[in-house]
Structure 1
Amino acid sequence: MASQRTHFEIPINDENDVLQITALGAGNEVGRSCLVIQYKGKTIMLDAGIHPAYTGLAALPFYDEIDPATVDALLITIDLIHLQNRILPLFSFHLDHAASLPYFLEKTTFQGRVFMTHPTKAIYKWLLSDYVRVSNVALDDMLYDEQDLLRSYDKIEAVDYHQEVEFEGIKFTSYNAGHVLGAAMFLIEIAGILYTGDYSREEDRHLMAAELPSVRIDVLITESTYGVQSHEPRLEKEARFTGLVHDIVQRGGRCLMPVFALGRAQELLLILDEYWKAHPELESVPIYYASSLAKKCIAVYQTYINMMNEKIRKQFAINNPFIFNHISNLKNMDDFDDVGPCVMMASPGMLQSGLSRELFERWCPDKRNGLVITGYCVEGTLARHAMTEPPEIISMSGATIPLRMSVNYVSFSAHVDFIQNSQFIDEIKAPHVVLVHGETNSMARLKSALQSKFAERDDKVKIYSPKNCEPVRLYFRGEKLAKAIGRLAAKYPIENQIVSGIIVSKDFQFNIMDANDLKDFCGISTSTIMQKPTIAYNSSFSLLKYHLEQMFGTLEETLDNEHVPTLTILNSIEVKHISKSQLRLEWSSTSMNDKIADSVIAVILNIENSPASVKITSHPHHTHVLEDNYNNMMDDDNINFNEKDPKNIENLIDTTSQSRIFAVVTYLKNQFGEAISKENSESEILVKVDNSCAEININTMVNNY
């Protein structure tokens, strides 16, 4: 995990240490949820929704801001709740998390992996298939067709709650989000991120509350749907809801509840069935659940009863709580006898089209009827407009219809309110909180309230509320820990011991191992490169040894198998005198050995030009008379070195005038080469470099030495 990371307000030196979070949707808006996380070369997308207020490509997240081919994984947090649409923008609020998934998988260059929970995948094909079927838009405006949906379905990988998934350095775990069946929060460990998606911290009649992960979180990305609003207590809310429904049917009216096919609908069905059972006087009033997918949705609930709360599991052991005694499924309007009071739960939940819109237009002129809105309504939808109780509405045909029916709002929306959200943020204790999925004003008020709440905390909390395509960049610099394994770990280390091995980085983890362990732990075979360069060298072997020992200390002198004189340097580099004019270096190529070899070569190349070499080679054994030696040196480059007494090199240094003259001439010849010439006088030489000329009187120079 990222428990050791610390945030620094310092210049960024390594872009790999930058965590970037970009909202391609749901940034200061509710709809088309889509976030992209980039960290250490990995890219993860969270959700792929559609905006309820737009059509066609305009409803998509801003996918053109990224290269889909670079996305490694796509995680879907929530199920896709059906809405019986007649036109494209009229779909369920929950489609804002996943309805563009077929488009992203089939119409872009995305080649990564996509994950969602088992219940979410179970209803994915049904709901989006129905969404495609009932969408009444031009062919050019269709984002995908039935075949795209089926192909995308095969690419989805289903996961369980608490299942840890790891691949290519990405590790994540899903947790129960409590919002609807199958809704998940994702803990992404490449950067210590918890993404809540839509979540609820309140247990209801069938779902558990969202979990609180027991690990440290560095960055919390959370919804802000309700801003600073507070929900009324559940029991009070249920009592007010059943009271409103009772009043409407008791006055002979029809009660319309626009709902989503899966999610809050099941909660409301449980409440109404229980209330009707407790009130025999209402048994003659029918309750209808109008959804072509009702039976399939109920089948999903029965299949995944283990993912619900303990109360519903205990009840399921006795009887199936989703087999209702007072509720009938209404597949289409042909089966509906619109006579007398009734309760009708119909989709879509925002009255944009479909059966709920049809019934709303039919019933709204009658003041006996009532509209009970039970979920969050996106800005720009008819349900949101109806909550303002306007005197009239515009029908789908364009006609004006008076609005006389009662309109009430009871929030059964399974989103956190301010109290639940702020408490969750406080318990998570993340130093960075990113707000998404909220309208601009609500998000701004929430951000201000959270900043005030956490202002006095010792550990500072930074709150971010990015707009779409506005990246949040966080710099994390942490310790890198490497674990010794294999042969290196076989022995307990000694204090101050130097450990030599190979560091292997895989999936953001570092291991140190012996080269011989690479095949076992990494499946990598090793090879050895032997370097054997040849260098021109015209001086003696003893002079070579002298200079190398000045640099590397005492050297081992041996004869190899071919009786070639060999010097071994630091147990890694061998220098062989293979001929009078050549040396050969041999070593096994490693980073360290190559550096040592470079140093050895540098020393060898400077031996013949070194003043120390001149001084050492100035031995009287090589000089007979001044004139002869001077003349010979001007014609001969070969200077032999007496090797009889290597133990005391100073004994080889002669201090006579003749040897000093010999040394000076040798030095000048080595330095200037062909630029040196003899004058007529045997005691003078000239050194000519470019247009300059120096005349040297050897006798005078030596006598003044």
Structure 2
Amino acid sequence: MTSSPTLALTMLGAGQEVGRSCCVLQYRGKTVVCDAGVQPAFSGIASLPFIDELDWRTVDVLLITHFHVDHAAALTYITEKTNFREGKGQVYMSHATKALHRLMMQDFVRMSSASSEALFSAQDLAMSLSLIKTVSAHQLITPCPGISFTPYHAGHVLGACMFFIDIAGLKILYTGDYSREEDRHLLKAELPPVRPDVLIVESTFGIKSLEPRPEKEQRFTTLVHQIIRRGGHVLLPTFAVGPAQELMLVLEEYWKAHPDLHDVPIYYTSNSAHKSMAVYQTNINTMNANIRARFAQRDNPFVFKYISSLSQSRGWEKSIADGPPCVVLASPGFMQTGPSRAVFELLAPDARNGVVITGFSIKGTLARELLDQPAEIESVKGGGLMIPRRISVAEIPFSAHVDYSQNAEFIELVDAQHVVLVHGEKNTMADLKAAMTFRYKERGKILSIHTPRNLETLELTFPEERVAKVIGHLANISAQTDNVISGLLVSKDFSYALLDPRDLTAFSGLPTSTLTQRQKVAIGVKWELIRWHLEGLFGAVEEGRDHDEQGVAVIRIMDAITLTHTQEYELTLEWESSAQNDMLADSALALIVGIEKSPASLKVSSCPQAHEHPHSDHNAVSTREQRLAWFLEAHFEDVRLHAGEGDEGSNITIAIDGNVATVDVDTLIVRCENENLKTRVELVLRVAIIATASLVDIALSHPQ
């Protein structure tokens, strides 16, 4: 028995951590990689996934769910600094993701170029971008035989996709980061129409429940207003693209409703955010109904009246800190480096100012550290320079990740056989696993849920189910009848089809041909004896003359094998090769080459009248008795036929090692004191009945 195929799932990143998402799926010789991000808490090589653990030449497909650095920033390193290009791997992401990824990575290269730990250059980025192929939501893509995938809207950020992947018939749903709540501009994550075998799902917030969006927006705008009223500056560290646009829509609406704020400027400091506005405006069709309706009325939601882009000229951070109260949206959201870190260090000593953490804060980043309300923080300039922290710190996440209730509901609706938790810290994952296990147990169900660590290979085995589609001529036949149908079972790209041989060329492109087998056999017995043995094995055979071979004798066996008496001591077997015909030919050959050694052949040879067709029922019965005796003699040797007299019937005696078995020819009942011998005779007798019955039928149907 062959072993069931196994899916090997290895996390090169985001295994019991948040950041550097990179999931490797290997099944039936195919390799699919989902996401290739960096760890924002680290820098340089240390920020990459564990890429040395994979031979990147073997990758068939690399899928990027969205443009955030923790899901996409390692892509350029993989394509340009590993052996990825030596293979046939293909890279896919959505149209919007590619456009925004280019902008984000240009900023990433610019900020890291000043460091000695830069991972790649602008030229490497340009080379990598040329490899990327774009896809649309709901588009079925088959990049290579055995692999197909379909993107579905994931919410979270513009262009984000979850991928429904089919590898050799195994169905996997990889969510990436997703949101099941429709925000001000994005659709919520979709539920794929097909049930997957494996669900790989984020667990960022674990069992945490987030407050409803209306309450969250009200709390956010109230806090921002309070900081402005006390004469402070508001710092909103956020990702340049995605959360930034969502916050801008919230602030624009609030400023419009509060005239006292009209003189308070709102700035966003990222060049990427400024350039991305064009991408947002050209991807309105991927957003929710509210945005599409406004755009249809020539009301562009992303043309802001109270929000403007701030040029990052020399000394811009100090001019902000020394200027009047304002709101500043600055990237990155983790505050490790860049504009958000520079502005924070200038605002931190003043208690009037406030920073609002609006996204998920990764462990090891300044954003996470600030939640503990430290008295001071170390300057990004290093050298032990400490900065007092008097600025107020609050957390109001607009991170567009699912909370516990949304995640649990989605897991239940997907109803996969296996659930794999990724993109979550160790304790968070453990809490979610325990909560989901208890949730299912209460309903009398069992959930197979896994929380793999980085570099831990999770092996999932699935019973192999082969379903063949009936196509072509056979499809017409099966539609018209309920009978069993037969045809060619063809495997193509891990799928199976049952078809008529006439359809093989059209389906597979393969040419068809007929193979004729021919076998010559030397013989030392008469033609009539060969025919007699063939009748005993196959029943009726057709005998005639071959006009193409100058009238030589021919026997046709089961309308498949042609036996020609080509020479006095030679026979030729000919047949069209197939599994069934080859088996018949083997049987006929085995019979013919053993005729000379058969005890029954000696009996027939010494009694020529046995080959004549009988003239009466009595002769037919007599022939039956004799043939039964010869058949048994071939197995037991000491066999004697006793003809009955008067009303007594005939019987056959078989003697072996002092034991005697008697067979009543009329009733075919076996009598013997030795049970082993009796059982053996009965088994041989069943075969003899089948062979001799067909010969008697021939004799009766061809009276002379």
When the two structures are superposed, what TM-score results if normalisation uses the length of structure 2? 0.81
353, 356, 364: which one aligns with 1:369: 353
Are residues 1:58 and 2:46 paired? yes
Deviates more, 1:276-285 or 1:371-380: 276-285
Matched residue type, 2:224: V
Cα distance in 2 for residues equivalent to 1:51 and 1:111: 27
Q: CA shift at 1:385, angstroms?
A: 0.8
The equivalent of 2:208 in structure 1 is 229
- Give the CA deviation at 1:429: 2.6
3-state SS in 2 of match to 1:132: helix
1:246 to 214, 219, 225: 225
Task: Provide the residue aligned with 1:216 in structure 2.
Answer: 195
Please, which of 352, 366, 371 is the counterpart of residue 336 of structure 2?
Answer: 352
3-state DSSP class of the match of 1:270? helix
* Alignment CA distance shift 1:537-1:68 (3 Å): farther
1:478: Cα distance to partner? 5.7
2:122 partner amino acid: E
Counterpart residue number, 1:602: 590
In structure 2, the CA distance between the partners of 1:410 and 1:644, relative to structure 1 (3 Å rule), is closer
- Secondary structure at the counterpart of residue 532 of structure 1: strand
User: Separation in 1 of the partners of 2:600 and 2:114?
Assistant: 93
User: For residues 310 and 404 of structure 2, what CA distance do their matches in structure 1 show?
Assistant: 37
CA distance in 1, matches of 2:140, 2:396: 38
Q: Residue 461 of structure 2 corresponds to which residue in structure 1?
A: 475
1:124-151 deviations in Å (ceiling 9; x for gaps): 2222133223213666x54433333223
Does the C-alpha gap of structure 1 residues 598 and 149 become closer, same or farther in structure 2, counting only changes over 3 Å?
farther
Distance 1:598 1:145 in 2: 70
- How much has 1:116 moved relative to structure 2? 1.2
Identity %: 50
Pairing partner for 2:399 from 406, 413, 432: 413
Q: Which residue of 1 aligns with 2:682?
A: none
**CA shift for structure 1 position 380:** 0.5
2:429 is the alignment partner of 1:443: yes
5 Å-filtered alignment, 1:565-580, equals 565-580=553-568
The residue number in structure 2 matching 1:384 is 368
Residues in 2 aligned to 1:15 and 1:428: alpha-carbon distance in whole angstroms: 24
Does 2:390 align with 1:404? yes
1:649 Cα shift? 10
Match of 2:175 in 1: 196
Counterparts of 1:335 and 1:402, CA distance in 2: 21
Conserved in 1, the CA contact under 8 Å of 2:604 and 2:611?
no
The letter for the 1-side match of 2:612 is D
User: Is 1:263 matched up with 2:242?
Assistant: yes
Structure 1 residue 119 displacement after superposition: 0.4
After superposition, residues 506-545 of structure 1 pair within 5 angstroms as: 506-545=492-531
- Counterpart selection for 1:127 from 91, 96, 104: 104
Alpha-carbon contact 1:431-1:459 (below 8 Å) kept: no
Q: Partners in 2 of 1:147 and 1:65 — Cα distance?
A: 26
Alpha-carbon deviations, 1:457-485, whole Å to 9, x = none? 24432211111232333333264332322
Which of 275, 295, 304 in structure 1 is aligned with 2:254? Answer: 275
Is 1:486 aligned to 2:472, yes or no? yes
More moved, 604-613 vs 377-386: 604-613
- In the other structure, the counterpart of 1:692 is none
Q: Which runs of 5+ in 1 are unaligned?
A: 1-11, 81-93, 622-641, 668-705
C-alpha distance in 2 between matches for 1:498 and 1:276: 74
SS at match of 1:296: helix
CA distance in 2, matches of 1:56, 1:460: 43
- Matches of residues 279-298 of structure 1 in structure 2 within 5 Å? 279-298=258-277
Moved more, 424-433 or 283-292: 424-433
Partner Cα separation in structure 2 for residue 307 and residue 589 of structure 1: 59
- Which of 384, 409, 412 is residue 426 of structure 1 equivalent to? 412
- Contact kept, 8 Å, 2:111 with 2:338, in 1: the verdict is no
**What's 1:321 paired with?**
301
User: Matched residue of 1:293: which SS?
Assistant: helix
Relative to structure 1, is the Cα distance of residues 144 and 530 closer, same or farther in structure 2, using a 3 angstrom cutoff? farther
1:497 CA drift (Å): 4.2
- Deviation of residue 428 (structure 1)? 2.3
Q: Which residue of 1 aligns with 2:533?
A: 547
- Between the aligned partners of 2:510 and 2:57, the Cα distance in structure 1 is 28
Which shows bigger deviation, 592-601 or 321-330? 592-601
Q: Which moved more, 1:25-34 or 1:555-564?
A: 555-564
1-structure distance, mates of 2:388, 2:65? 40
> In structure 2, what is the equivalent of residue 96 of structure 1?
70
SS at match of 1:576: strand
Aligned to 1:175: 152
> Matches of 1:499 and 1:452 in 2, distance apart?
48
The answer for the alignment partner of 1:678 in structure 2 is none
The amino acid of 2:225's aligned partner reads H
Is the CA contact 2:41–2:336 (under 8 Å) kept in the aligned structure 1? no
Q: Are the equivalent residues in 2 in contact too, given 1:50–1:59 (CA < 8 A)?
A: yes
Which amino acid in structure 2 is aligned with residue 176 of structure 1?
H
One-letter amino acid matched to 1:146: A
User: What per-residue deviation string (whole Å, max 9, x for no partner) do you get for residues 416-462 of structure 1?
Assistant: 11111112222223332211110001110111111111112244322
Distance 1:553-1:315 versus aligned 2 partners, 3 A rule: same
Tell me, yes or no, if the aligned pair for 2:610 and 2:623 is still in contact at 8 Å. Answer: no
Q: Is the 8 A contact 1:542 1:646 kept in 2?
A: no
Deviations 1:657-701 (A, max 9, x none): xxx9xx99xx9xxxxxxxxxxxxxxxxxxxxxxxxxxxxxxxxxx
Q: Which amino acid aligns with 2:597?
A: N
Instruction: Tell me if structure 2 keeps the 8 A contact 1:616–1:652.
Output: no
Compare 160-169 and 300-309 and name the one that shifted more: 160-169
Separation in 1 of the partners of 2:119 and 2:532? Answer: 81
> What per-residue deviation string (whole Å, max 9, x for no partner) do you get for residues 636-664 of structure 1?
xxxxxx997366899999x9xxxx9xx99
What is the TM-score normalised by the length of structure 1? 0.81
Aligned equivalents of 2:277, 2:93: Cα separation in 1? 20
After superposition, what is the alpha-carbon deviation per residue over 1:507-532, rounded to whole angstroms, capped at 9, x for unaligned? 34322112121112222211222111
CA distance 1:557–1:278, shift in 2 (3 Å): same
- CA 1:552/1:309 → structure 2, altered by over 3 Å: closer, same or farther? same
Q: 1:212 to 1:497 in 2, by over 3 A?
A: closer
Note if contact 2:519-2:574 (Cα within 8 Å) is conserved in structure 1: yes
Question: 2:612: which partner in 1?
Answer: 645
1:542/1:643 contact within 8 Å kept: no
Q: How far, CA to CA, are the matches of 1:59 and 1:646 in structure 2?
A: 94
1:600–1:55 Cα change, 3 Å = farther
Would you say the 8 A contact 2:9–2:24 is kept in 1? yes
Distance 1:503 1:485 in 2: 11
- The whole-number CA distance in structure 2 between the counterparts of 1:185 and 1:309 is 17
Tell me, what secondary structure is at the counterpart of 2:222?
helix
What is the distance in 2 between the residues matched to 1:548 and 1:143? 81
**CA 238–493 in structure 1, closer or farther in 2 if over 3 Å, else same:** closer
Structure 1: distance between partners of 2:534 and 2:37: 71
Aligned residues: 611
Q: Which residue of 2 aligns with 1:637?
A: none
Any idea what SS the aligned residue of 1:445 has?
Answer: helix
Secondary structure at 1:157 match in 2: strand
| Other-structure match for 1:590 | 578
Question: Shift of the alpha carbon at 1:15?
Answer: 3.5
Q: Which residue of 2 aligns with 1:14?
A: 3
Q: CA deviation at 1:490?
A: 3.2
**Counterpart for residue 302 of structure 1:** 281
User: Does 2:144 align with 1:144?
Assistant: no
Q: Secondary structure at the match of 1:413?
A: coil
Give the match for residue 154 of structure 1. 130
Question: Following the alignment from structure 2 to structure 1, what is the Cα–Cα distance between the partners of residues 420 and 372?
Answer: 31
Q: Which amino acid aligns with 2:70?
A: D
**Structure 2 equivalent of residue 456 of structure 1:** 442
Q: Pick one of 154, 163, 183 that aligns with 1:186.
A: 163
